[in-house]
Amino acid sequence: MPSITCARCGHDREQLARPPLPGDLGTRIFASICDVCWKEWLRQQTAVINHYGLNLLDPKAKQFLTKQTEAFLFGETPV
């Protein structure tokens, strides 16, 4: 697999096999986040879902989780 310079960790690492999410965010993650950091996010995502008791059928919960994803991977402040 090709390697990329990860926007989160700054290392040259293996790129994801495919965009992990649909839409623009998935494309952005695929283009700039390494496999290692994505796996770290998946572990953190589980902790966030459990901590906040998120119901991912709720659009507000999905929006909250998307903001947390952007904050974790790209250092963007969640609103």
Structure tokens at 72: 């974790």
Question: In this structure, is residue 36 part of a structural domain?
Answer: yes
User: In angstroms, rounded to a whole number, what is the distance separating the alpha carbons of residues 66 and 17?
Assistant: 21
What pTM, to 2 d.p., does this model score? Answer: 0.89
Question: In this structure, is residue 54 part of a structural domain?
Answer: yes
Burial of 10 (0-12, 13-18, 19+ CB in 10 A): exposed
- Which pLDDT score, from 0 to 100, does residue 79 have? 54
- Which pLDDT score, from 0 to 100, does residue 39 have? 98
Question: In this structure, is residue 37 part of a structural domain?
Answer: yes
| Inter-CA distances, 57 with 43, 60, 74, Å | 20, 9, 25
Question: In this structure, is residue 79 part of a structural domain?
Answer: no
Domain that holds residue 21: 3-74
CATH number, domain of 43, equals: 1.10.3880.10
Tell me the residue ranges of DSSP E strands in the chain: 3-5, 12-14
- Which pLDDT score, from 0 to 100, does residue 78 have? 60
- Number of structural domains (the chain) is 1
> Can you list the residues of the chain whose pLDDT is less than 70?
77-79
Rounded to a whole number, what is the largest CA-CA distance in the chain?
37
